[in-house]
């Protein structure tokens, strides 16, 4: 008899603990990362930084800046003003007689001299008038001679009692009338010759002619308002510019004393000097609407660089400050505590130095106090600086080259 196999009790599967282990190891990694970050913040970053007293490490951590050296010299003091070029003389050439324009003897833009022939009006009508006046003069001269001889006879007859005093007086009056006619005829001749001269239109001044306004074949009149041509004198030439009325006391004593103040004309961008002249005079009143006064300077303009109505910037030299400490304008900083510069010391660190600024030019300024000659001041890169920070000095760029670290 087959014995049945005893039924074994079904055992429950053991509880899974692996997921619990998996949930714990990310927390462990997070703690390790936090510990590493704390170590870096406290000590690792400092350990990786430049060691104290290590010049190579300090140079690598220094802030790059561009610096320049102060110097001692003469600092010119200028007054700046906006100006406009005007011709020294301008003449609108018109015809002084009516007539037919037969000749134009100039080229547009040509340089002419006083007395040069510019145009010609048909002279034949004026030549005819001259001949008529000369004929009238010849006739009146003949009549005057006849009246003179007749008056001489009447004078003898009056002494002989042949003619009356009235007849003698009438003959003397005729003689006087012919004398007056002679003077009138001579005036008519002079006028005809003058009109004939006016038919030849000449340059009243020396200068440069503009564009022609009337062509050959047109009839011109003495009453025309436009004229034939405009001549402008460009050598010398003038510049009118304005300065603030507060600067007038600086200029007038020198101008009254006869001192010749140098005036320099710069281009529209105020970057390039294009001409040098001298101050001529000042206006006799101040413009109340702008608070400025107009000055006039003259320039020889031999190279023709100045042109009428050209806009220029004028720099008027009024004084020179001798033996001044001069620094670049770019180095001067302004803040709540006043004006200052960053000075580079011998250990390649910077310090803030308060200064007093004197006369200032376009690129340089005179320093009245706070700086000495041959000190190094920062001109670029000041936005990252503070007292005591290390810097790496570079020389300013020149001719478009890249700055190199200073030794």
In terms of Cα–Cα distance, which of 213, 231, 198 is closest to 123? 198
**295-336: pLDDT as tens digits:** 999 999 999 899 999 999 999 999 999 999 999 999 999 988
Inter-axis angle of helices 165-198 and 124-160, nearest 10? 160
Residue recorded with tokens 């002494």: 159
Q: What is the mean pLDDT of residues 91-112?
A: 93
**Distance between CA atoms of 182 and 197, rounded to whole angstroms?**
23
Q: Which domains does the chain have, with CATH numbers?
A: 61-70+332-394 (2.40.420.20), 79-88+233-321 (2.40.30.170), 124-198 (1.10.287.470)
Top pLDDT among 96 and 14 is at 96
Q: What is the mean pLDDT of residues 330-347?
A: 91
Q: List the structure tokens of 303.
A: 């190279």
Top pLDDT among 98 and 45 is at 98
Check pLDDT > 80 for residue 387: yes
Residue 2 pLDDT class (50, 70, 90 cuts): very low
What is the CA 347 to chain-centroid distance, rounded? Answer: 46
> Residue 405 gets which letter from DSSP?
B
**Distance between CA atoms of 281 and 6, rounded to whole angstroms?**
137
Q: List the structure tokens of 227.
A: 């004229």
Which pLDDT score is estimated for 55?
Answer: 52
Contacts of 300 (CB under 8 A, 6+ apart): 235, 236, 277
Of all residues in the chain, the percent with pLDDT exceeding 90 is 57
Check pLDDT > 60 for residue 21: no
- Cβ contact 92:230 at 8 Å: yes
- Cβ contact 339:365 at 8 Å: no
Which pLDDT score is estimated for 315?
Answer: 94
Which pLDDT score is estimated for 218?
Answer: 92
- Cβ contact 66:376 at 8 Å: no
Which pLDDT score is estimated for 50?
Answer: 46
pTM score over 0.75: no
Check pLDDT > 90 for residue 230: yes
Which pLDDT score is estimated for 52?
Answer: 44
Residue 340 pLDDT class (50, 70, 90 cuts): very high
- Cβ contact 101:212 at 8 Å: no
Residue 407 pLDDT class (50, 70, 90 cuts): very low
Which pLDDT score is estimated for 40?
Answer: 59
**48-93: pLDDT as tens digits:** 444 444 554 444 578 899 999 999 999 999 999 999 999 999 999 9
Residue recorded with tokens 């510990």: 35
Q: How far is CA 90 from CA 233, 316, 327, in A?
A: 6, 26, 46
Which residues, listed in sequence order, are joined to residue 9 by a DSSP beta bridge?
Answer: none
For the ranges 26-30, 167-171, 377-381, which has the lowest average pLDDT? 26-30
Check pLDDT > 70 for residue 404: no
Check pLDDT > 60 for residue 11: no
- Cβ contact 372:383 at 8 Å: no
Check pLDDT > 70 for residue 405: no
């Amino acid at each position: 008899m087959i014995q049945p196999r005893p039924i074994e009790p079904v055992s429950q599967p053991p509880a899974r603990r692996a997921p619990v282990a998996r949930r714990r190891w990310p927390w462990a990694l997070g703690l390790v990362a936090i510990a590493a970050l704390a170590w870096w913040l406290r000590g690792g970053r400092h350990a990786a930084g430049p060691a104290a007293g290590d010049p190579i490490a300090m140079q690598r951590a220094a802030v790059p800046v561009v610096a320049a050296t102060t110097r001692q010299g003469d600092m010119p003091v200028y007054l700046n003003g906006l100006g406009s070029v005007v011709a020294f003389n301008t003449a609108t050439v018109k015809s002084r007689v009516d007539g037919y324009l037969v000749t134009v003897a100039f080229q547009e833009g040509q340089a002419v001299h006083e007395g040069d022939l510019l145009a010609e009006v048909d002279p034949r009508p004026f030549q005819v008038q001259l001949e008529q006046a000369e004929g009238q003069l010849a006739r009146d001269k003949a009549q005057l001679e006849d009246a003179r001889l007749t008056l001489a006879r009447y004078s003898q007859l009056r002494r002989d009692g042949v003619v009356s005093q009235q007849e003698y007086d009438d003959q003397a009056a005729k003689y006087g009338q012919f004398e007056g006619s002679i003077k009138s005829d001579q005036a008519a001749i002079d006028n005809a010759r003058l009109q004939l001269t006016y038919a030849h239109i000449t340059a009243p001044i020396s200068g440069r002619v503009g564009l022609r306004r009337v062509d050959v074949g047109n009839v011109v009149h003495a009453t025309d308002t436009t004229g034939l041509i405009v001549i402008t004198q460009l050598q010398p030439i003038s510049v009118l510019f304005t300065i603030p009325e507060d600067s007038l006391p600086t200029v007038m004593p020198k101008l009254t004393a006869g001192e010749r103040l140098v005036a320099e004309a710069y281009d529209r961008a105020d970057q390039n000097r294009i001409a040098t002249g001298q101050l001529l005079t000042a206006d006799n009143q101040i413009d109340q609407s702008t608070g400025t006064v107009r000055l006039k300077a003259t320039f020889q303009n031999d190279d023709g660089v100045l042109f009428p109505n050209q806009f220029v910037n004028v720099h008027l030299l009024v004084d020179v400050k001798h033996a001044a400490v001069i620094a670049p304008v770019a180095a001067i900083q302004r803040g709540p505590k006043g004006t200052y510069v960053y000075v580079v010391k011998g250990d390649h660190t910077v310090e803030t130095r308060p200064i007093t600024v004197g006369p200032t030019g376009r690129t340089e300024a005179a320093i009245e106090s706070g700086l000495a000659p041959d000190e190094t001041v920062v001109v670029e890169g000041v936005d990252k600086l503070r007292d005591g920070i290390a810097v790496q000095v570079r020389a300013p760029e020149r001719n478009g080259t890249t700055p190199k670290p200073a030794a």
